[in-house]
């Protein structure tokens, strides 16, 4: 009965988050931003009045977000222009692919080729631009919550400290501080990996002769903030354009394999080793969080999904009754059982 009630409650919460996305999404995003930029405001507040420190913190935050968003818009605008100028290449490429498929028994491909229009791709890029504009409106609402939240952090902290002195509030203080620290580590590492990925992708596409090398580097940098989905898009798009530019399946395959290796080394090899066990999360749960929150809240949800997962598992880790959940979805094997003979680890737990 408890499990059934828990499942019903989870579905009800998910439905509420989906139905009230215009409220919950910006508030959640604002709390995430506040947790990241609070150390900056605290340092500024030691040297100037709190309202001025909050304004300067907000200006820096707005500048960073606007810079990343501008890179994405700039990159996609250049790619869209290239598609428009080289529409005939894509039309020919699609026709050849359809003929090849038709020759192997896929008759439907020929029918699609007759009705294919490259303007479909242009409309897709326009749809991306409109979504980015909607994301800009979302950020305006979020920044309002950030302003108000930054001004109230001290008040909330003092209330929790007061409750702790009376015997309560310790759980929230410890869990909140741990979540904020993990958010900061997550964003620092993600930013470093995004910069490195963008530079390497730019260098590779430039060396391979692929046009729009700088745009591909900018797109790879910005999309690397979204696990799995972002790197996949940043890999498939240059591959498609390499196929149209070089008119060679071999070159397109080379670009695809090379970009996949770059993304793998960045996201699946270097990043976990930099963060270590501090941010250990099951890759299965990371993928689930990205798709689940993308379904709930769209592009902002795809970005905030992993931080939400980190926050949830951290809360579980700070409570004895739910600590097993954090251990279960950490992606790490269980430590050796002290009761096992000669300190032997149980099956599957040996390193």
The 10 Å Cβ neighbour count of residue 273 is 7
CA distance 172 to 168: 9
Distances (CA, A) of 273 to 97, 234, 270, 315: 42, 23, 5, 23
Whole-model pTM?
0.79
**133 backbone dihedrals φ, ψ, rounded to 5°:** -65, -40
Task: Tell me the pLDDT band of 228, cut-offs 50, 70 and 90.
Answer: confident
* pLDDT tens sequence across 101-111: 666 555 544 45
* pLDDT tens sequence across 68-88: 878 877 887 788 777 777 766
Distances (CA, A) of 185 to 57, 262, 272: 18, 22, 12
Q: What is the pLDDT of residue 134?
A: 65
Task: Tell me the pLDDT band of 40, cut-offs 50, 70 and 90.
Answer: confident
The label of the residue with tokens 């929230």 reads 172
Q: What is the pLDDT of residue 118?
A: 56
Lookup: tokens for 350: 């040996």
* pLDDT tens sequence across 84-102: 777 666 666 666 666 666 6
The 10 Å Cβ neighbour count of residue 133 is 12
**226 backbone dihedrals φ, ψ, rounded to 5°:** -105, 105
- Kindly tell me if the per-residue pLDDT of 125 is higher than 70: no
* CA 221 distance to own-chain centroid: 11
Lookup: tokens for 22: 């215009």
The label of the residue with tokens 């019903």 reads 8
Q: What is the pLDDT of residue 140?
A: 80
Kindly report the average pLDDT of the chain as a whole number.
80
CA distance 11 to 18: 10
**209 backbone dihedrals φ, ψ, rounded to 5°:** 85, 10
The label of the residue with tokens 């869990």 reads 175
Phi-psi domain of 167 (left: phi exceeds 0; alpha: psi -120 through 50; beta: other): left
Higher pLDDT: 8 or 165? It is 8
| Closest C-alpha to 36, from 298, 304, 262 | 304
Lookup: tokens for 333: 């094997």
Task: Tell me the pLDDT band of 348, cut-offs 50, 70 and 90.
Answer: very low
Cβ 61 vs Cβ 146: under 8 Å: yes
CA distance 331 to 199: 30
DSSP 104: T
CA distance 203 to 201: 5
CA distance 244 to 89: 6
Cβ 135 vs Cβ 299: under 8 Å: yes
| Closest C-alpha to 190, from 219, 227, 153 | 227
Q: 69: helix, coil or strand?
A: helix
CA distance 171 to 164: 9
DSSP 344: P
Task: Tell me the pLDDT band of 277, cut-offs 50, 70 and 90.
Answer: low
* For the chain, percent of residues with pLDDT exceeding 70: 79
* pLDDT tens sequence across 132-172: 666 667 778 888 888 888 888 888 878 877 777 766 667 77
Cβ 302 vs Cβ 226: under 8 Å: yes
Lookup: tokens for 161: 């400290």
Domains of the chain: which residue ranges? 20-333
């Amino acid at each position: 009965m408890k499990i059934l009630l828990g499942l019903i409650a989870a579905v009800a919460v998910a439905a509420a988050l989906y139905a009230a996305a215009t409220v919950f999404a910006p508030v959640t995003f604002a709390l995430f931003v506040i947790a990241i930029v609070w150390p900056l405001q605290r340092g500024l507040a030691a040297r100037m009045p709190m309202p001025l420190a909050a304004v300067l913190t907000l200006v820096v935050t707005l500048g960073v977000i606007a810079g990343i968003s501008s890179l994405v818009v700039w990159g996609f605008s250049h790619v869209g222009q290239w598609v428009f100028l080289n529409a005939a290449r894509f039309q020919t490429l699609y026709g050849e692919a359809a003929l090849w498929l038709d020759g192997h028994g896929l008759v439907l491909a020929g029918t699609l080729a007759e009705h294919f229009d490259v303007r479909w791709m242009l409309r897709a890029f326009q749809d991306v631009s409109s979504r980015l504009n909607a994301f800009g409106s979302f950020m305006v609402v979020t920044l309002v919550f950030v302003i108000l939240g930054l001004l109230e952090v001290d008040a909330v902290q003092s209330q929790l400290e007061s409750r702790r002195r009376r015997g309560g509030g310790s759980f929230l203080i410890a869990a909140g501080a741990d979540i904020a620290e993990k958010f900061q580590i997550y964003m620092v590492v993600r930013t470093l990996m995004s910069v490195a990925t963008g530079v390497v992708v730019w260098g590779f596409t430039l060396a391979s002769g692929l046009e729009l090398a700088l745009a591909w580097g900018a797109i790879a940098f910005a999309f690397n903030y979204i696990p799995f989905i972002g790197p996949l898009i940043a890999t498939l798009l240059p591959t498609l354009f390499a196929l149209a530019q070089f008119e060679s399946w071999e070159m397109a395959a080379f670009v695809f394999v090379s970009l996949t290796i770059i993304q793998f080394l960045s996201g699946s090899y270097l990043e976990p080793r930099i963060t270590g066990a501090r941010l250990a999360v099951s890759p299965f749960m990371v993928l689930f969080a990205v798709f689940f929150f993308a379904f709930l809240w769209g592009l902002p949800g795809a970005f905030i999904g992993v931080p939400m997962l980190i926050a949830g598992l951290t809360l579980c880790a700070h409570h004895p009754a739910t600590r097993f959940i954090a251990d279960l979805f950490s992606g790490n094997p269980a430590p050796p059982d002290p009761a096992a003979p000669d300190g032997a680890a149980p099956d599957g737990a040996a390193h």
